[in-house]
Amino acid sequence: MTPLEGVALVLLALGCAFYGAGTIGLLRFPDVFTRLHALTKADNVGLFLVGLSMALLADGVRAVLLILLVWVAGLVTATTSASLLARHARTTEEG
């Protein structure tokens, strides 16, 4: 195993740990707003770390740019869906 593969493996393990923490937050927190916060923050960092580990092992610039595009798409979709879910939860609580 090369040092670069070792760093990628550590980043991959950290990314999986963040995904696990987000899942635990989803299951353990009491209300929808704290669940959304834990899930989106931990998953965004987890996706970044997993993408970074894959980018370190990528063959070329095109693969790295595609990984970056996947990460940005993940950020946009997580932000949008969390905002819509929180808005819906807020309106159903008040009404």
Give the tens place of pLDDT for each residue, 18-36: 999 999 999 999 999 999 9
Spatial contact of 12 and 50, defined as CB atoms under 8 Å apart: yes
Task: Look over the chain and give the mean of its residue pLDDT values, rounded to a whole number.
Answer: 93
Residue 95 has pLDDT above 60, yes or no: no
pLDDT confidence of residue 67: 96
pLDDT the model gives residue 93: 74
Number of C-beta neighbours around residue 87 at 10 A:
10
> What total of structural domains would you count in the chain?
1
- pLDDT value at residue 21: 94
What is residue 94's predicted lDDT score, i.e. its pLDDT? Answer: 63
Instruction: Give me the phi and psi of 78, to 5 degrees please.
Output: -65, -40
pTM listed for this prediction: 0.88
pLDDT value at position 92? 87
Distance CA 26, CA 35 (A): 5
Note down the domain range covering 34: 3-94
Tell which residue, 69, 83, 90, 8, has the closest CA to residue 39.
83
